Homo-oligomer: A and B are copies of this chain.
Amino acid sequence: MSGKHVLALSGGVGGAKLAAGLAAVLAPEDLTVVVNTADDFEHLGLTICPDIDSVTYALAGLNDAQRGWGVKDETWQAMAMLGALGEADWFNLGDRDLGMHIARSWRLREGESLSSVTARLTRELGIVTAIVPMSDAPVRTQVRTAEGWLDFQRYFVAEQCRPVATAIRFKGVPGAPPSPRFAEALAREDLAAIVVCPSNPYLSVDPILAVDGVREALAGRKVPLVAVSPLVGRAALKGPLAKLLGELGQEVGNGAIADHYGDLLDHLIIDTADADDAEGLRARGLCVTVTGTVMCDADDRERLARVALSAARIETG
């Protein structure tokens, strides 16, 4: 194979870990990490991009491994003041994290694109891998519940995913073109593989697939598409995936993940705890790798990255 460029699609925390692993084992010029922006929202006048920030903090080594989200060595003083001022405090913003939101928000307001702002801020943090928003146009996830359509962060953070979800939609698509570097990565002559990181298929990966032309581009791919399942022991490590699958009438298992991606998927990497799923997946013509997918440290992340690249027949050093 001539090409060796890898296009990774990622949501937040789980995806960010594999993205960090890929960034550690691939040369910077061989990787483009495209990140979901449908969780982004405007809050207190700031544009907050939770998944871009999770990937950024993970690649910069700034992520809080204990808490599982946000920046390490974080404090919460601005939020306490905002609370004292009677402002909304349902979305907890750390002080260091706020530095990021302030920088991004004012540059966006000055007219810079999200792609350009993201490239600038990640470069300043010393990140050499391209972290790319899926689109520079706003796309916003909404979840239908008995109370009506809820904006994603309202559902996810304020309501803590308690309402039963009956549908999911992405405001802004069609109509949101891929960001310039996403479009460029999809069209690369030397594209060698697409890796779908272990993120929620409905909430984190679907928005990326819903960007104008992306599903079609992936359907016409000439390279393997390898996904790492976000399930471990028929549950999500974090987030509402298992609950969502049930509410959307799916069995909680890798069969549902495979169903969901359908023809886009060539190879699914599943956790050893779900080894039982392998036979059924193979029976439907999928390649399957069974391995430990829980990433607790850098070694785990790099090992799983190598497994994913190997599944895509990419050689790593």
Interface residues of A (CB under 8 A from B): 44-46, 71, 73-75, 77-82, 84-87, 94-100, 102-103, 105-106, 109-110, 120-121, 124-125
For A120, list chain B residues within 8 Å (CB). 86
Please tell me which one of the listed residues B73, B103, B105, B110 contacts residue A85 in the complex, with CB atoms under 8 A apart.
B103
A81, A87, A106, A120: residue with the most chain B Cβ atoms closer than 10 Å:
A81
Copies of this chain per assembly = 2
A79 to B97, CA, bound (A): 10
Known: A75-B75, A78-B99. 6 other contacts (CB 8 A): A45-B45, A77-B96, A78-B95, A84-B125, A98-B98, A98-B102
A81 to B99, CA, bound (A): 5
A103 to B79, CA, bound (A): 10
A44 to B109, CA, bound (A): 10
Evaluate whether A85 and B45 lie within 8 angstroms (CB atoms) in the complex, with A80-B99, A95-B77 already known: no
Evaluate whether A45 and B102 lie within 8 angstroms (CB atoms) in the complex, with A85-B124, A86-B120, A125-B84 already known: yes
Q: Which 8 A-B pairs have the closest CB atoms?
A: A81-B99, A45-B106, A77-B95, A86-B124, A78-B99, A95-B95, A82-B99, A81-B96
A207 to B84, CA, bound (A): 31
A82 to B125, CA, bound (A): 10
Contact of B106 with A78 in the complex, beta carbons under 8 Å: no
Closest B residue to A124 by CB, please name it. Answer: B86
A77 to B71, CA, bound (A): 11
Contact of A85 with B44 in the complex, beta carbons under 8 Å: no
A212 to B87, CA, bound (A): 33
Distance in Å: Cβ of A121 to nearest Cβ of chain B: 5
Closest B residue to A82 by CB, please name it. Answer: B99
For A125, list chain B residues within 8 Å (CB). 84-85
Evaluate whether A99 and B75 lie within 8 angstroms (CB atoms) in the complex, with A124-B86, A125-B85 already known: no
A84 to B105, CA, bound (A): 16
Contact of A121 with B45 in the complex, beta carbons under 8 Å: no
Contact of B103 with A87 in the complex, beta carbons under 8 Å: yes
A276 to B106, CA, bound (A): 52
Closest B residue to A107 by CB, please name it. Answer: B45
A71 to B95, CA, bound (A): 15
Closest B residue to A42 by CB, please name it. Answer: B106
For A102, list chain B residues within 8 Å (CB). 44-46, 78, 82, 87, 98, 102
Please tell me which one of the listed residues B82, B95, B106 contacts residue A75 in the complex, with CB atoms under 8 A apart.
B95
